[in-house]
Amino acid sequence: MNAPAERMRSMRARRQAKGLREVRLVVPDARSAAIRRRIATQVARLDPDKEREALAWIESVSEFDSHEAR
């Protein structure tokens, strides 16, 4: 096995021994003009009243809102 592959295998083994698991995410590239246009179109279709309601709910259940800064 080549050195980079061996280092990755070793790193994964160390993380696994600590109870950690690698998770990979694939997300849209916000640097792409096409992606930015698609996001802008989706945002334009949002219902402001429903979004306010959702944000109010998130704030009401957020533990950060119920604790003082430490």
Query: What distance lies between CA 44 and its chain's CA centroid?
Result: 22
This prediction's pTM: 0.50
- Which residues neighbour 33 within 8 Å (Cβ) at sequence distance 6 or greater? none
CA atoms of 24 and 7, how far apart (whole Å)? 18
CA atoms of 46 and 54, how far apart (whole Å)? 12
Give the residue extent of every domain in the chain: 3-62
- Which residues neighbour 12 within 8 Å (Cβ) at sequence distance 6 or greater? 22
CA atoms of 55 and 49, how far apart (whole Å)? 10
pLDDT along the chain (70 residues), means of 10: 88 94 92 96 96 92 63
Q: Give pLDDT, residue 44.
A: 97
